[in-house]
């Protein structure tokens, strides 16, 4: 998700062309998704938990 957001941040002119999506909306969306991604990345995946926290 992080890489996809990086690319969206670099190139989103096609989404704002013709007023389809306002620039502000995309900026807010990217910011919110980065925050969600950061929160999720701090939690171990169930497989990681089973493999490494069961030692």
pTM of the model: 0.79
Give the residue-averaged pLDDT of 18-39: 97
- Count the residues in the chain: 55
Sequence-distant (6+) residues with CB within 8 A of 52 are 44
Question: Is the pLDDT at 49 greater than 80, yes or no?
Answer: yes
Instruction: Please list the helix, strand and coil fractions of the chain in percent, rounded to the nearest 5, in that order.
Output: 75, 0, 25
Q: Give the torsion sign (CA, 45, 37, 6, 15).
A: positive
The pLDDT-based confidence of 53 (bands split at 50, 70, 90) is confident
Please, what is the average pLDDT of the chain? 94
Give the residue-averaged pLDDT of 22-34: 98
Question: Is the pLDDT at 31 greater than 90, yes or no?
Answer: yes
Q: 42 — phi, psi (to 5°)?
A: -85, -10
């Amino acid at each position: 998700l992080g890489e996809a957001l990086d690319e969206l941040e670099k190139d989103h002119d096609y989404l704002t062309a013709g007023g389809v999506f306002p620039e502000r909306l995309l900026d807010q969306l990217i910011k919110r998704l980065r925050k969600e991604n950061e929160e999720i990345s701090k939690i171990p995946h169930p497989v990681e938990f089973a493999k490494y926290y069961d030692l």
